[in-house]
Structure formats: structure tokens, C-alpha cells
Amino acid sequence: MDYRQILRHLYSLESSKIKFGLENIKKLLEKIGNPEKELKCVHVAGTNGKGSVCAMLFYILRRAGYNVGLYTSPHLKKFNERIRFNDNFISDREIVEYYLRIKDKITSQSFFEITTAMAFLYFKDKKVDFVILEVGLGGRLDATNVVKPLVSVITTIGLEHTALLGNTLEKIAYEKAGIVKENVPVVTGTDGAALETIRKAALKRNSPLILTKKHKKIKLDYLNGKFQYFNANAALTAIDTLKKFYKLKINNKDIENGLKNTQWPARLE
């Protein structure tokens, strides 16, 4: 199979009837050696801003000299954008390689589950220091929710995908809060009823709850829109959390330069 054949097959597995659940992804990951268990992840969920926050975290950690994997969805122009290692997207050749490595283990997994498994295996082989991992949809039953991250981030909560996630902010917040793990700090920029739902989840799982802090002197050269400053505050609070809980060494200059140079196409361009 070549690159185009594989993508045609993967896209054929996409369905308008999304089936939530972790059973299928767990079965596939177990067959390929559970690569996700060897990754240090920052797991990002939310209604708005999660892609931008992931990009900011990626650029800051790269500027600090770390090898970083970035997993996001959907792609803008090309499938390869979903899986990135340092300065390059996964290549066409590597997509073929990693699909063929797991092909015989696939049973009834979806497009997103297969792509997620490929990404985990790819990042393991690349020996990344960190993976910035964006939730696909929701959180609790999303295929990415098989990791125990270093930090969980929930950006905002709004009414979205109500047929799948629920028709109230509390119900949607409950789904997003599913990424909160036992004893793992969670950063959030939410408020009101959504925040209270996340607070209950954090308390139940003994997870330190950290509200997004407003940071001064934020400069964004490539991102437009006032909302990006809200996203930047979420990313910077997550970096502060990594530094506090895991003694991560990132100096202020690296943070400033990483944030300033963050690029995330198609946002008010």
C-alpha cells in the first residue's frame, strides 16, 4: 500500500455516527506494546482554544531545547499535520511505515483510534521528551484519554456537540473533566457551573486544581485576536505547573520567545 491508498482507507473509516469508548483503542494499544505508557504528555481539552494552547506549549518547550511531539486534529491542508515531531510533520513514508506496523492488529477501530495509535508509536520511537496531546472530541471517552499525563488542561467550556456531549454546560464539563486523572494537576480557564463540575472531578481524584493566571508582557507575533491572550494565559499557567510539580527547567526568555513565535494557521489570518 502507498500513502494515498492508506489515507483513502483511513478516511473510509470515518463515520457520522461517532462511537465513544476506550475499549477499542485500549485493545489496539495493548497489541502494539502500549507505547502511550512511555510518553510524558500534557493533555489538552476544551471547547475553544485547545489547538492554540497546544501550539503554544509546543513552541515554548521546543525553544527550551526539548524534543517534542504534537498531536492535533483535524488537519488544515494535509493529514501529516496531525502528527509532528520537532520541526517536521510525519512524512508520507513514515505514515506508510507506521500504518503497516499496526495494520494486522486493527480490528474494528475507527479512523481516529488508528491515527492515535500510530502517533503514540511514532512518538515512542522518536524518544520525545514530551507530547502535547489534543483531545479529539469531549474528553472522558476520547481515544486520547488512555494516557496519564503530567498535566491536564481544560481551556473553556461552551455548548458544542450537544447531541454527543449533553445539552448543558454541566454535562459538557463532565465529559471534558474526564481527562482529569488521579493526583495529576489540572489547569483550567473555565468559570461558573463548568468550573464547579471540574472542581468536583479534581476533588474526587485528588488532583490539584489550578486556575488560569493572567500573565503580563505577553507578545504574539503570528496570532491574531484578543482571545489568543486568554489561550496564552492557559498555556503559561500549564508551563508554570510543569515547573512547579516536575522541576522542569525553562527560563523566562525561552517562554517569551516560544510564545512570541507560535504559529497556528487559519486563526483570523
pTM, to two decimals:
0.95
pLDDT at 19: 66
pLDDT per position as a tens digit, 139-191: 999 999 999 999 999 999 876 565 556 668 889 999 999 999 999 999 999 99
Task: List pLDDT tens digits, range 10-58.
Answer: 999 876 556 678 999 999 999 999 999 999 999 999 989 999 999 999 9
- Contact indicator for 22, 110 with CB cutoff of 8 Å: no
Between the CA of residue 265 and those of 40, 69, 225, what are the distances in Å?
Answer: 26, 18, 13
Task: Give the angle subtended at the CA of 180 by the CAs of 201 and 144, to the nearest 5°.
Answer: 140
